[in-house]
Structure 1
Amino acid sequence: MKKLFVIFLSLFIVLATFLSGCTGTGESGEKVIKVGVLTDLSGDLSTDGRQINNILKIAKDNVEQYLKEKGLNYKVELYVEDTQTNPSLCLQKVQNLKAQGCNLIIGPLSSSEVKNIKNFVMSNKLVIISPSSTAIPQLLGFASPEDKKYIFRIVPNDNFQGKAIAGELKDMGIKNVVVLYRDDAWGQGLESAAVTNMKNLGINVIAEIKYPSQPTPSDWSPYIQKLLDYTKGKDAKDTGILAIGFGELATLMSQIPDNSPLLNYKWFGSDGFAMNENILKVAKAKGEKVGFYSTVFYGKSKEAEKIVEEYRKRGYGEEVGQYALCAYDAFMLGVISYAEMLKEKGSYDPDLLSKLIKENAVKYSNGDFGFKPVTGYIEFNEWNDRATGDYGIYAITKDGWKLVGIWHYKDGKIEWL
Structure 2
Amino acid sequence: MTLRNCVIALIVLGLMLPLAAAEEIKIGVMVDLSGPLTTYGNDIKNTLQIAKEDINNYFKEKGMDYTVEFYVEDTKVDPNVALQKIQSLNSKGIKLVIGPMRSGEVANIKDYVTSNKIIIVSPSSTALPTIIGFAKPEDKKFIFRFVGTDDLQSKAIASELRDAGVKGVVITYIGNAWGKGLYEEIKPQLEELGIEVAKVVEYPDQVPADFSPYITSLEEGVKALADKYGYDKVAVVTFSYEEVYTMLAQVPDESPLLGVVWFGCDGNALSDKTVNVKDKVTKVGTFSTLFESRGPAYDDLAVKYKEAGYGDSPYQYAMNAYDAAWVLALAYAEVVKEKGQYDPDAMAEKMPVVTEKYSNGDYGVEPVSGKIVLNEWNDRASGDYAIYYVNKEGKWETAGIWKFATQSVDWQHKPVWPEAPAKKSESTPGFEIVAGMLGIALAIGLRRRL
TM-score above 0.5, yes or no:
yes
Contact 2:372 2:383 in 1 (8 A): no
* Partner residue in 1 for 2:264: 269
Q: Which amino acid aligns with 2:86?
A: V
- Cα distance in 2 for residues equivalent to 1:71 and 1:412: 43
User: 1:285/1:315 Cα in 2 relative to 1: closer, same or farther (>3 Å)?
Assistant: farther
Contact 1:279 1:287 in 2 (8 A): no
- Cα distance in 1 for residues equivalent to 2:313 and 2:288: 16
1:315 to 305, 309, 318: 309
- Cα distance in 1 for residues equivalent to 2:96 and 2:133: 22
Q: Which amino acid aligns with 1:148?
A: K
- Cα distance in 1 for residues equivalent to 2:278 and 2:87: 39
Q: Are 2:201 and 1:206 equivalent residues in the alignment?
A: no
Q: Note the residue ranges of structure 1 that are not aligned, 5 or more in a row.
A: 1-26
User: 1:280/1:61 Cα in 2 relative to 1: closer, same or farther (>3 Å)?
Assistant: farther
Q: Which amino acid aligns with 1:189?
A: G
- Cα distance in 2 for residues equivalent to 1:256 and 1:311: 41
Q: Which amino acid aligns with 1:249?
A: V
How does 1:132-281 map onto structure 2 within 5 Å?
132-213=124-205, 215-232=206-223, 234=226, 235-256=230-251, 261-276=256-271, 278-281=272-275
What is the TM-score with the length of structure 2 in the denominator?
0.79
* Partner residue in 2 for 1:302: 296
Q: Which amino acid aligns with 2:35?
A: G
DSSP 3-state at the match of 1:206: strand
Q: Are 2:118 and 1:126 equivalent residues in the alignment?
A: yes
Q: Which moved more, 1:53-62 or 1:231-240?
A: 231-240
1:345 Cα deviation (Å)?
Answer: 3.6
2:70 to 67, 73, 78: 78
1:380 to 362, 368, 374: 374
* Partner residue in 2 for 1:334: 328
* Partner residue in 1 for 2:350: 356
- Cα distance in 1 for residues equivalent to 2:35 and 2:397: 23
- Cα distance in 1 for residues equivalent to 2:264 and 2:63: 47
* Partner residue in 1 for 2:440: none
Q: Which amino acid aligns with 2:262?
A: W
How does 1:104-119 map onto structure 2 within 5 Å?
104-119=96-111
1:405 Cα deviation (Å)?
Answer: 1.3
Larger radius of gyration: 2
Deviation string, structure 1 residues 317-337 (Cα, Å, up to 9, x no partner): 235322221121112111221
1:152 Cα deviation (Å)?
Answer: 0.7
Contact 2:167 2:194 in 1 (8 A): yes
Deviation string, structure 1 residues 207-254 (Cα, Å, up to 9, x no partner): 1111222x3334433333333333246343222111112233343344
1:169 Cα deviation (Å)?
Answer: 0.8
- Cα distance in 1 for residues equivalent to 2:87 and 2:383: 32
Q: Which moved more, 1:355-364 or 1:384-393?
A: 384-393
Contact 1:45 1:247 in 2 (8 A): no
* Partner residue in 2 for 1:38: 30
Deviation string, structure 1 residues 239-273 (Cα, Å, up to 9, x no partner): 21111122333433444456654333211111222
* Partner residue in 1 for 2:285: 291
What is the TM-score with the length of structure 1 in the denominator?
0.85
* Partner residue in 1 for 2:6: none
- Cα distance in 2 for residues equivalent to 1:255 and 1:96: 43
Contact 1:34 1:77 in 2 (8 A): yes
Q: Which amino acid aligns with 2:150?
A: D
DSSP 3-state at the match of 1:230: helix
- Cα distance in 2 for residues equivalent to 1:94 and 1:280: 35
1:49 Cα deviation (Å)?
Answer: 2.5
Q: Which amino acid aligns with 1:295?
A: T
Deviation string, structure 1 residues 26-78 (Cα, Å, up to 9, x no partner): x9933322211122234343343332222122112211111221222333222
- Cα distance in 1 for residues equivalent to 2:220 and 2:362: 57
User: 1:400/1:330 Cα in 2 relative to 1: closer, same or farther (>3 Å)?
Assistant: farther
DSSP 3-state at the match of 1:137: coil
**Bigger relative CO (Cα 8 Å, ≥ 6 apart):** 1
2:40 to 44, 48, 51: 48
Contact 1:44 1:248 in 2 (8 A): no
- Cα distance in 2 for residues equivalent to 1:29 and 1:291: 57
- Cα distance in 2 for residues equivalent to 1:282 and 1:42: 23
- Cα distance in 1 for residues equivalent to 2:44 and 2:249: 27
Between the aligned residues of both structures, percent identity stands at 46
Q: Which amino acid aligns with 1:242?
A: V
DSSP 3-state at the match of 2:148: coil
- Cα distance in 2 for residues equivalent to 1:404 and 1:247: 20
User: 1:42/1:195 Cα in 2 relative to 1: closer, same or farther (>3 Å)?
Assistant: farther
Deviation string, structure 1 residues 148-178 (Cα, Å, up to 9, x no partner): 1101111333222222111101111222211
Contact 2:167 2:195 in 1 (8 A): yes
Q: Are 2:134 and 1:103 equivalent residues in the alignment?
A: no
Contact 2:278 2:394 in 1 (8 A): no
DSSP 3-state at the match of 2:202: strand
